[in-house]
């Protein structure tokens, strides 16, 4: 792949969990950044970040600061994205946004490059990066879907606290610090004495919370609704039969999904393993007898989505169970966005 050598690249949310990872990945992949424009809130303006051996001053996000940028990679939240992305795109900047603001807009492609790169045809100016859980699930399922036609899926997620940004990680760390010597007492906890923070709303340390985002009228959470809708859009199966339960777990980095997937024809675990072994961006970890199966700590800091525990669903030769883990900050957000940018600016 060839890339032009003189891109002016804005990173919006450069101080955040995803933004920090974007800067690392831009450097590591030698993305051709001629001029970096790191943007954040007024709180961070004037601070510097180190990029490519230089100190670069962070500026407050504004359309003026984005002027002339070839590319904007943004991870600053949906309401902030709504405030600048359409205008910046109209001014000629390719905007790759990691928030939920534009994902379901009909004119905005929602892209995982290994899964639906064709959605990038026609040089769109705004491209949305899917939700981190959806990306992990799609990386594992798309190769199987291409071969056997996905008909339905039941998904449960186990999502890391860094999915809620820097504040989520900090909240877990503070609570673990407070509770680490009370592990036995937590068998009969004094609920009123447990630490509760603003991010998760209940104690996150030594606990799991089946609530990510707010509850909708039907009892689903926002995260579950995103997972369902985005899976349908990415795969282009608008009537896909899919349900999700999304759960926050006290893991620093790495989202996991357990999936029951049903296909249009019979498919064996052996065929699924062969397909996943060949799939770009996927690493098969499926030898349970020898202790080989995915876990989030093994996926953290890695580019690949790890897939294993592949089993036939009892009495259903067209259905499989599997477990997959991916780094929510990398493939779930920053890396996926930069891979999209590499496609968009590729000259090869
Ligand atoms: N974490 C994940 O795993 C993940 C995965 C996929 C997508 N995302 C999405 O990516 C976005 C960022 O998430 P995150 O986890 O990186 O959050 P985060 O760690 O809380 O970082 C938020 C970033 O946004 C900036 N920001 C806040 N208010 C701003 C404003 N008014 N103007 C400009 N910048 C502002 C912050 O700058 P200051 O430092 O100046 O406050 C910071 O750089 C969210 O939309 C999230 O849903 C996150």
The pLDDT, as a whole number, for residue 153 is 98
Residue 104 Cα to ligand 1 midpoint, Å, equals 20
pLDDT digits (tens, 9 = 90+) for 82-106: 999 999 999 999 999 999 999 999 9
Token couple for 229:
């809708």
The pLDDT, as a whole number, for residue 312 is 98
Instruction: State yes or no: pLDDT of 1 exceeds 60.
Output: no
The pLDDT, as a whole number, for residue 4 is 73
Interval 21-32 mean pLDDT: 97
* Of residues 280, 259, 263, 256, the one with CA closest to residue 113: 280
- Residue 189's pLDDT band (boundaries 50, 70, 90)? very high
Interval 318-347 mean pLDDT: 97
- Residue 267's pLDDT band (boundaries 50, 70, 90)? very high
Token couple for 338:
């930069």
Q: How far apart are CA 268 and CA 310, in angstroms?
A: 9
The pLDDT, as a whole number, for residue 335 is 98
Q: How many CB atoms lie within 10 A of CB 16?
A: 23
The pLDDT, as a whole number, for residue 348 is 63
Determine if ligand 1 sits within 6 Å of the CB of residue 165: yes
**Burial, 79: exposed, middle or buried (Cβ in 10 Å; 0-12, 13-18, 19+)?**
exposed
The number of residues in the chain equals 348
Residues of the chain with CATH 3.40.50.720: 7-130+333-345
**Ligand 1, atom 36: nearest CA belongs to which residue?**
13
- Residue 67's pLDDT band (boundaries 50, 70, 90)? very high
Instruction: Report percent pLDDT > 90 for the chain.
Output: 97
Interval 257-281 mean pLDDT: 98
Determine if ligand 1 sits within 6 Å of the CB of residue 328: yes
The pLDDT, as a whole number, for residue 20 is 97
Residue 278 Cα to ligand 1 midpoint, Å, equals 34
Q: Give the position, in ligand 1's atom list, of the atom nearest the Cα of 12.
A: 34
CATH of domain 134-328: 3.30.360.10
**Ligand 1, atom 35: nearest CA belongs to which residue?**
41
Q: How far apart are CA 80 and CA 345, in angstroms?
A: 25
Q: Give the position, in ligand 1's atom list, of the atom nearest the Cα of 20.
A: 16
**Burial, 290: exposed, middle or buried (Cβ in 10 Å; 0-12, 13-18, 19+)?**
exposed
pLDDT digits (tens, 9 = 90+) for 274-326: 999 999 999 999 999 999 999 999 999 999 999 999 999 999 999 999 999 99
Q: How far apart are CA 30 and CA 235, in angstroms?
A: 30
Determine if ligand 1 sits within 6 Å of the CB of residue 242: no
**Ligand 1, atom 3: nearest CA belongs to which residue?**
163
Residues of the chain with CATH 3.30.360.10: 134-328
The pLDDT, as a whole number, for residue 17 is 96
The pLDDT, as a whole number, for residue 139 is 98
Interval 36-54 mean pLDDT: 97
**pTM, whole model, 2 decimals?**
0.97
Largest CA distance in the chain: 62
Interval 130-143 mean pLDDT: 98
The pLDDT, as a whole number, for residue 281 is 98
Instruction: State yes or no: pLDDT of 2 exceeds 80.
Output: no
Interval 105-131 mean pLDDT: 97
* CATH number 3.40.640.10 given to 7-130+333-345: no
| Three-state DSSP string of the chain | CCCCCCEEEEEECCCCHHHHHHHHHHHHCCCCEEEEEEEECCCCCCCEEEECCEEEECEECCHHHHCCCCEEEECCCHHHHHCCHHHHHHCCCEEEECCCCCCCCCCCCECCCCCCHHHHCCCCCEEECCCHHHHHHHHHHHHHHHHHCEEEEEEEEEECHHHHHHHHHHHHHHHHHHHHHHCCHHHCCCHHHCCCCCCCCCCCCCCCECCCCCECCCCCEHHHHHHHHHHHHHHCCCCCEEEEEEEECCCCCCEEEEEEEEECCCCCHHHHHHHHHHCCCEEECCEHHHCECCCHHHHCCCCCEEEEEEEECCCCCCEEEEEEEECCCHHHHHHHHHHHHHHHHCCC
Q: Which residue has the higher pLDDT, 347 or 77?
A: 77
Best residue among 41, 84, 226, 325 to mutate for probing ligand 1, ranked by most atoms within 8 Å of CB: 41
Residues with Cβ within 8 Å of 99's Cβ and at least 6 positions away in sequence, in order, are: 74, 75, 76, 77, 78, 80, 81
The pLDDT, as a whole number, for residue 209 is 98
The pLDDT, as a whole number, for residue 116 is 98
The pLDDT, as a whole number, for residue 3 is 76
Instruction: State yes or no: pLDDT of 347 exceeds 70.
Output: yes
Determine if ligand 1 sits within 6 Å of the CB of residue 19: yes
- Residue 39's pLDDT band (boundaries 50, 70, 90)? very high
Determine if ligand 1 sits within 6 Å of the CB of residue 329: yes
Backbone region of residue 165 per phi and psi (left: phi > 0; alpha: psi in -120 to 50; beta: other values): left
Residue 194 Cα to ligand 1 midpoint, Å, equals 28
| Whether the Cβ atoms of residue 264 and residue 287 lie closer than 8 Å to each other | no
The pLDDT, as a whole number, for residue 5 is 73
| Active-site amino acid positions | 132, 255
Give phi and psi for 205, each to the nearest 5.
-65, 135
Residue whose token pair is 């599997």:
322
Best residue among 10, 18, 172 to mutate for probing ligand 1, ranked by most atoms within 8 Å of CB: 18
Best residue among 165, 170, 214 to mutate for probing ligand 1, ranked by most atoms within 8 Å of CB: 165
């Amino acid at each position: 792949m060839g890339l032009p050598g003189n891109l002016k690249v804005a990173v919006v949310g450069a101080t955040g969990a995803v933004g920090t990872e974007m800067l690392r990945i831009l450097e590591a992949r030698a993305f051709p950044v001629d001029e970096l424009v790191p943007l954040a809130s007024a709180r961070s303006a004037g601070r510097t970040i180190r990029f490519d051996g230089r100190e670069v001053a962070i500026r407050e996000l504004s359309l003026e600061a984005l002027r002339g940028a070839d590319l904007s990679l943004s991870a600053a939240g949906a309401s902030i994205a709504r405030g600048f992305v359409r205008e910046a795109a109209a001014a000629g900047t390719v905007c790759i946004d990691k928030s939920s603001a534009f994902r379901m807009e009909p004119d905005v492609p929602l892209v995982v490059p290994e899964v639906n790169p064709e959605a990038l045809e026609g040089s769109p100016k705004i491209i949305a990066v899917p939700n981190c859980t959806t990306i992990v699930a799609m990386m594992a399922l798309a190769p199987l879907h291409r071969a056997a036609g996905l008909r339905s899926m039941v998904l449960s997620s186990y999502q890391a606290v860094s999915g809620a940004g820097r504040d989520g990680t900090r909240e877990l760390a503070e609570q673990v610090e407070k509770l680490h010597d009370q592990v036995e007492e937590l068998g009969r906890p004094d609920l009123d004495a447990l630490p509760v923070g603003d991010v998760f709303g209940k104690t996150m340390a030594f606990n799991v919370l089946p609530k990510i985002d707010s509850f909708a009228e039907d009892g689903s959470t926002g995260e579950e609704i995103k997972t369902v809708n985005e899976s349908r859009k990415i795969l282009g199966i608008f009537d896909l039969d899919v349900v999700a339960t999304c759960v926050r777990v006290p893991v620093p980095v790495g989202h996991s999904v357990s999936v029951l997937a049903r296909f249009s024809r019979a498919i064996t675990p052996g065929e699924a393993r062969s397909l996943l072994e060949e799939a770009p961006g996927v690493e098969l970890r499926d030898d349970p007898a020898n202790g080989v199966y995915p876990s989030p700590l093994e996926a953290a800091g890695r580019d690949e989505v790890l897939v294993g525990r592949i089993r036939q669903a009892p009495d259903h030769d067209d259905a499989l169970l599997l477990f997959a883990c991916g780094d929510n900050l990398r493939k779930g957000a920053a890396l996926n966005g930069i891979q999209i940018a590499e496609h968009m600016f590729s000259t090869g």
